[in-house]
Amino acid sequence: MGTQAPDTDDAFVANKKADSQTASDKKIDDWLPITSSRNAKWWYSAFHNVTAMVGAGVLSLPFAMSELGWGPGIAVLIISWIVTLYTLWQMVEMHEMVPGKRFDRYHELGQHAFGDKLGLWIVVPQQLVVEVGVNIVYMVTGGKSLKKFHDTVCSTCKPIKQTYFIMIFASVHFVLAQLPNFNSISGISLAAAVMSLSYSTIAWGASVDKGKQPDVAYGYIASSTAGTVFNFFSALGDVAFAYAGHNVVLEIQATIPSTPEKPSKKPMWKGVIVAYIVVAICYFPVALIGYWAFGNKVEDNILISLEKPAWLIAAANMMVVVHVIGSYQIYAMPVFDMIETVLVKKLRFPPGLTLRLIARSLYVAFTMFVAISFPFFGGLLGFFGGFAFAPTTYFLPCIMWLAIYKPKRYSLSWIANWICIILGVLLMIISPIGGLRQIILQAKTYKFYS
């Protein structure tokens, strides 16, 4: 009997260790931004998704239309809307496909589909490019819109450098970045969602009011065939950028409570449908009416084409600023979660206010610095749009679906997923080419820190 005791003791110690580990893990999970709060309602999902999706990208849609032309432009808009709604539905479904487990982060789903190591390597770099890319582009957009507001309201004032406006915009985020989790930014997100609907309405309403311009032309603006083709590629990236909510959808769903009787996918999907209706109300009128009014002379931000009435354009630019503040935070939250997970779980830093203050402030400072250095708005959209948005939005969910559910060959689900994968891969290859060319062309005339 005496020989049994050490084994029993070892088992007891091991159990105690495991218990304390799960307790400390739970404590960390309760602190991390994605898993700390799970009491969101379905309408949180609706306005978080609207804020994530209807970004400033909507303002570049008339410009994308001018590079695509009427037929291809309308087709690309409609196909993107359908494909991304389908892939978003797949992600919402896959959030809880393993009973008793939730995939709260995009990379956790990737790890389940492709294996622990490979899943991380496939998903995390792409997700980071998207989220950090969006944050940088939104820094530029926020700064540009603040400058436009200032110049419109005070046309006789001394001009101020765009760099300073980006800094002003960033200063808001040094404060807001300290909000702990998704639910704590729901008020900002709601305001942002309302603003996106408002400035989209102003953009197309003012275009209708202006009417068709006397010298309007709908032909391709590039003088050479190569130029037309490259512009077409870049425009595809702009459209891909406009449908980028998938990168934060699992993280948003993680905030909704879930039980076996009431899984989170039901309220989440309800919110997504509302969000997608709002997306259609914002995107289609802006793209089509903006292009109808200005033709191929439209600017890469429709609000710049609409010079008057000054007060309305000033208001729209201010709405863009408020919206982009909310959007920045939605996309930054999963990045904060990744940074804090690494710092606390891998590097064993104690979780707390000091860690959060330093880590998040450094991130905001980094995105501000890059935005000040490279503010080529249109080209950046095209480049990032194809490079990382196409995989995470158009075809990664389909590949995961095929890997996990293994639908029967040539069944409807199998065919639909393969169509999405082929379209997504084409988009990933061709749109960065156009975006990069635009950046190179704009860089020729660009002065640093202007």
| 196-216 pLDDT per residue, tens | 889 889 888 888 888 888 887
**CB-based contact 326:189 (threshold 8 Å):** yes
* pLDDT tens, residue by residue, 230-244: 888 878 877 877 776
Average confidence (pLDDT) over 126-155: 87
Q: Is the pLDDT of residue 25 over 90?
A: no
Peptide bond into 99 cis (omega under 30): no
Q: Does the pLDDT value for residue 100 go beyond 70?
A: yes
* Residues 267-284 pLDDT 10s: 999 999 999 999 899 899
User: Do 190 and 50 meet the contact criterion of CB atoms below 8 Å apart?
Assistant: no
Instruction: pLDDT band for 301, please (50, 70, 90 cuts).
Output: confident
Q: Is the pLDDT of residue 332 over 90?
A: yes
Q: Is the pLDDT of residue 133 over 90?
A: no
How much is the pLDDT for 213?
82
Residue (of 440, 405, 401) closest to 424 by Cα position: 401
pTM of the model: 0.85
Structure tokens at 43: 């309408």
Provide the phi-psi class of 160: left if phi over 0, else alpha when psi is between -120 and 50, else beta.
beta
pLDDT at residue 117 is higher than 60: yes
Number of other CB atoms surrounding residue 212 within 10 Å: 12
More confident residue, 3 or 171: 171
Select the highest-mean-pLDDT range: 19-23, 101-105, 169-173: 169-173
Residue 395 has pLDDT above 70, yes or no: yes
pLDDT for res 10:
57
Evaluate if residue 20 carries a pLDDT over 90.
no
Residues 6+ apart with CB under 8 A from 311: none
Q: Would the CA dihedral through 421, 426, 429, 434 be positive or negative?
A: negative
What is the pLDDT at residue 364?
96
What's the rounded Cα separation, in Å, for the pair 133 and 391? 14
Q: pLDDT tens digit string along 410-425?
A: 999 999 999 999 988 8
pLDDT in tens, 36-93: 778 888 888 888 888 888 776 788 889 889 888 899 999 999 988 998 899 999 999 9
Considering only CA atoms, which of 247, 408, 273, 416 is closest in space to residue 338?
Answer: 247
pLDDT for 16 equals 53
Instruction: Check residue 111 and give its pLDDT.
Output: 92
Instruction: Taking each helix axis as running N to C, give the angle between helix 412-444 and helix 225-242, from 0 to 180 degrees, rounded to the nearest 10.
Output: 120
User: Do residues 278 and 54 lie in contact, with contact meaning Cβ atoms separated by under 8 Å?
Assistant: yes
pLDDT for residue 182: 79
Q: Higher pLDDT residue, 373 or 360?
A: 360
Position 299 scores a pLDDT of 80
Buried b (16+ CB within 10 A) or exposed e, 311-342: ebbbbbbbbbbbbbbbbbbbbbbbbbbbbbbe
| % the chain with pLDDT above 70 | 90
Among 17-26, 171-180, 270-279, 419-428, the range scoring the smallest mean pLDDT is 17-26
pLDDT of residue 439: 74
The residues near 386 (Cβ < 8 Å, ≥ 6 apart) are 233, 236, 237, 240, 427, 428, 429, 430, 431, 432, 433, 434, 435
| pLDDT at 135 exceeding the cut of 70 | yes
**What does pLDDT average to over the chain?**
84
pLDDT at 2 over 80: no
